Structure 1
Amino acid sequence: MATLRKRNGKWQVQVRRQGFPVQTRSFVSKADANEWARTIERQHDRHELGPDRKALKAMTLTDLVTRYRDEVVPKKKGSAVETILLNRFLRYPICQKTLYDLTTADFATYRDQRLSEPKHRSDKPVNPKSLKRELSPLSHMFRHAVVEWEIPLRNPLDGLKLRVVDNKRERRLRAGELERLLEATKKGRNKLVAPLVLFALETAMRRGEILSIQFRHVDFERLSLVIPESKSGYSRIIPLTKRAVSILEAVRPAGAKATNLAFPVTPVAMRLQWDRLTERAGIDGLNFHDLRHEAISRLFELGLTVPEVASISGHRTIAQLMRYSHASQEAVRAKLIDNDGEPGGHAFVIDTARGQHTVELID
């Protein structure tokens, strides 16, 4: 913000901006003073002026992360998981750096350290894709600090190289795994885990969407469910199978209010429950999100069209939807074998160096 005052026959102008040193200059003409002030303010807006060293040296990365965690994260849908990620990040030495001294090289060191560390309860190191998800809230934090808090800093993550391999998951339930999962739920204390698993397979909904269901969102007569806000930020209405409705009726306690959660389980608790469940069932490499892959693939196998499946799953593009559709190899193989046994229609002969081959075209 610029302020002008006349002093000793000259116009003195000051431009103040949080995080930047005060700019002061005197002019004989008021018009010149105003023009200079506008030029400095435009340079501030375009981040062409260097930040105030004192302001950035007085604030550490810990201060910035803590403020972001306490003020911004609680308003986000994934606040519980993001808080855990940020709390873990605060334990690393990089957080002791001041914002003035913080560089991309510091995050490169942190990246290499994280990629060499083993995961929780696993001998495998953290993969680049997981680390990219962990760095995502930090990148948003730096952008938020510049725009909302007017802290003049550069996002050190912009130049960080992180080679991520697109290891698209194609995991589906194998023969007998669902039965083993349901049998293992009997040994757990939380009786909502089994209904959660079955409901996920019936609806292809995300875990967060399922855990946010309130009974007022369910139309038991029309067999439909309103999802007020999905991961993509859009609402949608999905049809429910009779089995899905029966699951909701089974978990609805007597006298339940419309605003009661159908599955009163926190995301963190569900993640821990799932880890214990798969361990008891002796199943490796199966995530809860893989149930969404399984459900979407089953919808296609039932004969639903791409638009119909997309209306249920909530995907906005065909490319996104196809990442979740994995045809059963056994079903494809069975169809190919059936076609091999059918009588042919037209036939033609192909001449090759190895002789003549007759090929039949199936009508």
Structure 2
Amino acid sequence: MSIPIKVGTRWRHRIMVNGMRASGTFDTKAAALKWEAEQRLTLSQPQQVAVNKTCADAFRRYEIEVSRTKRGHRWEAGRLATMAASSLGRITMAQITPSHIAAWRDERLRSVQGGTVTREMNLLSHVFSVARKEWKWIARSPTTDVARPRAKPHRDRRITPDEIDRICVALRWPNDGSVTGPETKQQRVALAFLFALETAMRAGEICGLRKGDVNGCVARLKMTKNGFPRNVPLSPRAMEIWSMVPDGFGITTATLDAMFRVARQRAGVEGLTFHDSRHEAITRLASKLNVLDLARMVGHHDIKQLQTYYNPTAEDIAKKL
């Protein structure tokens, strides 16, 4: 018989009943044991599960057993709670059909963008996949034949040298080499922006850098958006910027985002986000690195994704002919 195991500050528990596995992560050992008792009662009557369980039950179980093991737990927990409280949550697993999913999709599209709905549908798809394969609650996923919203064209916002200078001025950073280090958080945000333009690193990756993460001309990212570590080669300019903040940039992503938005307004630069610096950096790097080296540097496992970032002008292409 399995027992709850403490992992860090939480308890991980796995059980098997009638050949079906279940697992979850809990704040206390008592909560883990209570969950086990409930699961053993449920799984001992597999023929009744689909009849009695609602989609909300599936969302709650998925949050406990699956979402809590992911880096994106907070986002998933919020989305699952919203879905559980919606009309979709009241439908039983035995009655759910593609028509219900399509109706929910169309309702969501009236209040949020297509990209948001696509991410939520991907989450829904995995919930029903787990319910089918592991919990045996359904025989077929209701999301299989439901189309995702049509994706909008990827952003291809370029950043001009003038816009870079105006952003730096708005953040009180003289981008002319006259200052050797930041004195305010605003200036640290400016340096993070300039560092992003050199490295194509994301805001969270830059804010998470610490002294021991940079060795010479390489920055070691222990955790990235896709869950894998990555080594980022640093240009001479990037190393120069890092030498001004050798212990790290000393700002959070929330601070960076808020201050960058204010600076953008102050500078009169429209339609620019901090993340656009990644697109700009990769576009510049595309003219220097072959596609395999570029993919390794920026952390893309699918080389096709780089087509989004490679936006040379006709003049740029002509120069290579």
CA distance in 2 between partners of 1:277 and 1:74 (Å):
36
- Does the 8 Å contact 1:62/1:90 carry over to 2? yes
Counterpart check, 1:217 vs 2:213 = yes
Q: How many correspondences in the alignment?
A: 271
CA distance in 2 between partners of 1:186 and 1:271 (Å):
16
SS at match of 1:176: helix
1:94 to partner: Cα distance: 1.6
Give the structure 2 partner of residue 204 of structure 1.
Answer: 200
CA distance 1:274–1:56, change in 2 (3 Å): farther
- Does the 8 Å contact 2:291/2:303 carry over to 1? yes
Letter of the 1:136 partner, please give it. Answer: N
CA distance in 2 between partners of 1:271 and 1:327 (Å):
28
Counterpart check, 1:169 vs 2:177 = no
Give the structure 1 partner of residue 30 of structure 2.
Answer: none
CA distance in 1 between partners of 2:279 and 2:158 (Å):
7
1:55 to partner: Cα distance: 1.9
1:100 to partner: Cα distance: 2.3
SS at match of 2:286: helix
Give the structure 2 partner of residue 289 of structure 1.
Answer: 275
CA distance in 2 between partners of 1:274 and 1:83 (Å):
28
1:324 to partner: Cα distance: 1.2
Q: Deviations over 1:241-299 (max 9, x none)?
A: 2332343343445xxxxxxx755525x66555555554454444333332111001112
Give the structure 2 partner of residue 265 of structure 1.
Answer: 252
Counterpart check, 1:312 vs 2:297 = yes
CA distance in 2 between partners of 1:273 and 1:86 (Å):
31
Give the structure 1 partner of residue 189 of structure 2.
Answer: 193
Give the structure 1 partner of residue 140 of structure 2.
Answer: 154
Give the structure 1 partner of residue 119 of structure 2.
Answer: 133
Give the structure 2 partner of residue 72 of structure 1.
Answer: 66
Structure with the bigger percentage of helix: 2
CA distance in 1 between partners of 2:64 and 2:249 (Å):
29
1:181 to partner: Cα distance: 2.8
Q: Deviations over 1:74-95 (max 9, x none)?
A: 3322334334433444442222
Letter of the 1:154 partner, please give it. Answer: R
Select 2:237's aligned residue among 237, 240, 243.
243
CA distance 1:305–1:217, change in 2 (3 Å): same
The sequence identity of aligned pairs, in percent, is 32
CA distance in 1 between partners of 2:162 and 2:226 (Å):
33
Question: Where in structure 1 do 4 or more consecutive aligned residues deviate above 6 Å?
Answer: 187-190
CA distance in 2 between partners of 1:230 and 1:174 (Å):
27
CA distance in 2 between partners of 1:252 and 1:74 (Å):
34
1:224 to partner: Cα distance: 0.8
Letter of the 2:218 partner, please give it. Answer: S
CA distance 1:205–1:224, change in 2 (3 Å): same
1:202 to partner: Cα distance: 1.3
CA distance in 2 between partners of 1:134 and 1:309 (Å):
30
Aligned ranges 1:33-72 → 2 under 5 Å? 52=47, 54-72=48-66
RMSD: 3.6
CA distance in 2 between partners of 1:272 and 1:67 (Å):
35
Give the structure 1 partner of residue 105 of structure 2.
Answer: 111
Any gaps of 5 or more consecutive residues in structure 1? 1-14, 20-50, 120-125, 254-260, 340-363
1:98 to partner: Cα distance: 2.4
- Does the 8 Å contact 1:196/1:263 carry over to 2? no
1:203 to partner: Cα distance: 0.5
1:145 to partner: Cα distance: 3.3
SS at match of 2:271: coil
- Does the 8 Å contact 1:142/1:155 carry over to 2? yes
CA distance in 2 between partners of 1:169 and 1:150 (Å):
41
CA distance in 1 between partners of 2:252 and 2:145 (Å):
39
Give the structure 2 partner of residue 24 of structure 1.
Answer: none
Select 2:222's aligned residue among 212, 215, 228.
228
Letter of the 1:100 partner, please give it. Answer: A
CA distance in 1 between partners of 2:260 and 2:168 (Å):
12
Q: Deviations over 1:329-363 (max 9, x none)?
A: 67568x59xx9xxxxxxxxxxxxxxxxxxxxxxxx
Letter of the 2:297 partner, please give it. Answer: I
CA distance in 1 between partners of 2:66 and 2:255 (Å):
23
1:111 to partner: Cα distance: 1.0
Return the TM-score normalized by structure 2.
0.68
- Does the 8 Å contact 2:188/2:249 carry over to 1? no
- Does the 8 Å contact 1:18/1:151 carry over to 2? no
- Does the 8 Å contact 2:101/2:142 carry over to 1? yes
- Does the 8 Å contact 2:220/2:232 carry over to 1? yes
- Does the 8 Å contact 1:210/1:263 carry over to 2? no
- Does the 8 Å contact 1:215/1:262 carry over to 2? no
